[in-house]
Amino acid sequence: MQPTTALLLLLSGLAHAAPQNRNNNNNNNNNAAAANTPFLGTTTLSTDGLSTIFTTTTTISNIPLRVQISAPLALFTTQTNLTGARAAPLSASPLGLHLLLHGDGGQSFFDFPNQADPSSASPLIGVVVLAPSENLLWGQRTGPPSGLDRPDGAADAQLLATLVSDVLPRMVAFDADNVFFTGVSGGALLLSGFFVPAHLAEFPGAKGVLLMCGALAPQVRVVGAGGFIGTSKIHFQSTKGELVSLQGAIPEAIKAYEGLAVSAGLGVGEIGALQTVDNTPAGGHCEFDGRGFVSGIQLVADNFGRIMQGGDGVVRGISRQSVLRSVVGNEDLVFDDALAKRGEGVVV
């Protein structure tokens, strides 16, 4: 994430930037960490060597959340006590935010695929959060994986909403008008089934939601759809060999979100620009490169700008064609049962 000269000038003024209120839900104030409480953690360098990764644990509603943030050092707030941190809590920033939720088991939290931004044209601060679950499952606090059933989905979605609105702005300076969310597998179930319908309207600056290898139709009441359905991009990315359990759920989610857009009065062209889908990769669950789970997820993360930030959608390693196909007319995805068998026994 190479800062430009303009960015460096902006960073130099962060320590004196006027605080901006990013809290979109005043009822969450009592759940957030106290304003003057320092955040303690450890640091490493991102894989590209250009950002600092700050790893810490914050407590929301008595639930500890493990968080990793990758950003230029100067954008971290003085509340982190990092040497070189220069931003005041809730201060302005030139960089947006990209929060990613891992799949069941937590692999993408530890890999942190969005820690480095190879497309410097639109850099974002990368954040990953570890599910507060004994088996690292989003939406299920206890017990072994139970597939698509996420009994704690609403509670976990509320934790994430509080994290982004109240807690992260005290750790790192980011532009609240340029925020993206990504879910991988089980993380995608949490986002599409619970967070987006219940909370996305609380974030007017939410530019997009990327759902990798998983999706659910809303499992809770949709709140304020008019606040996001016509402005936030949603991309569904899957494979030919998707898990059988998800082969029905993903199309159902596509139809549900397309239905919200239709109900909001969006035309076919508007829907196609905002809601897109692709499952061309000849791979199993999350194997977007046709080879592996980890490498496939990394491939999509490395091409985030091309998919979610106004790019042409062409991802080398997936297809020479754009992955940004309109959901209109492409709701009923076609899967390959032979490829799907490769993923039997895999949790989502």
- For the stretch 203-257, pLDDT in tens is 999 999 999 999 999 999 999 999 999 999 999 999 999 999 999 999 999 999 9
Task: Please state, for a pLDDT cut of 70, what percent of the chain lies above it.
Answer: 86
CATH number, domain with residue 165? 3.40.50.1820
Establish if 11 belongs to a structural domain: no
Establish if 134 belongs to a structural domain: yes
Establish if 16 belongs to a structural domain: no
Instruction: Write the CB contacts of 222 (distance below 8 Å, at least 6 apart in sequence).
Output: 197, 198, 260
Check residues 118 and 53 and name the one with the higher pLDDT: 53
CA distance 10 to 14: 7
Query: 19: pLDDT confidence band, cut at 50, 70 and 90?
Result: very low
- Predicted confidence (pLDDT) at residue 33 exceeds the cutoff of 60: no
Establish if 322 belongs to a structural domain: yes
Strongest mean pLDDT among 23-32, 37-46, 74-83: 74-83
Q: What mean pLDDT comes out for the span 175-184? A: 97
Query: 342: pLDDT confidence band, cut at 50, 70 and 90?
Result: low
- At 347 the pLDDT is 58
Establish if 23 belongs to a structural domain: no
- Predicted confidence (pLDDT) at residue 31 exceeds the cutoff of 50: no
- Predicted confidence (pLDDT) at residue 271 exceeds the cutoff of 90: yes
Establish if 26 belongs to a structural domain: no
- Predicted confidence (pLDDT) at residue 12 exceeds the cutoff of 70: no
Establish if 287 belongs to a structural domain: yes
Query: 13: pLDDT confidence band, cut at 50, 70 and 90?
Result: very low
- At 117 the pLDDT is 75
3-state secondary structure of 294: helix
CA–centroid distance for 183 within its chain:
5
**Residue 283 belongs to what domain range?**
43-343
Scan for tokens 């091409």, then name that residue. 303
Q: What is the pLDDT of residues 118-150, one digit of tens each?
A: 655 678 999 999 999 999 999 999 998 889 999
- At 34 the pLDDT is 54
- At 24 the pLDDT is 45
Q: What mean pLDDT comes out for the span 261-285? A: 97
Instruction: Write the CB contacts of 311 (distance below 8 Å, at least 6 apart in sequence).
Output: 119, 303, 305
Q: What is the pLDDT of residues 147-167, one digit of tens each?
A: 999 999 999 999 999 999 999
CA distance 317 to 297: 12
Average pLDDT, the chain: 89
- At 11 the pLDDT is 45
Residues 87, 91, 94, CA angle at the centre, nearest 5°? 90
- Predicted confidence (pLDDT) at residue 343 exceeds the cutoff of 60: no
- At 348 the pLDDT is 61
Domain count along the chain? 1
| The model's pTM | 0.90
Using alpha carbons, list the distances in angstroms from residue 192 to 37, 78, 84, 104, 312: 33, 34, 37, 15, 24
- At 35 the pLDDT is 61
Q: What mean pLDDT comes out for the span 69-95? A: 95
Establish if 29 belongs to a structural domain: no
CA distance 284 to 332: 18
Helical spans, DSSP H, in the chain: 5-12, 107-111, 153-162, 168-171, 186-190, 196-199, 244-247, 249-263, 268-274, 293-302, 304-308, 337-340
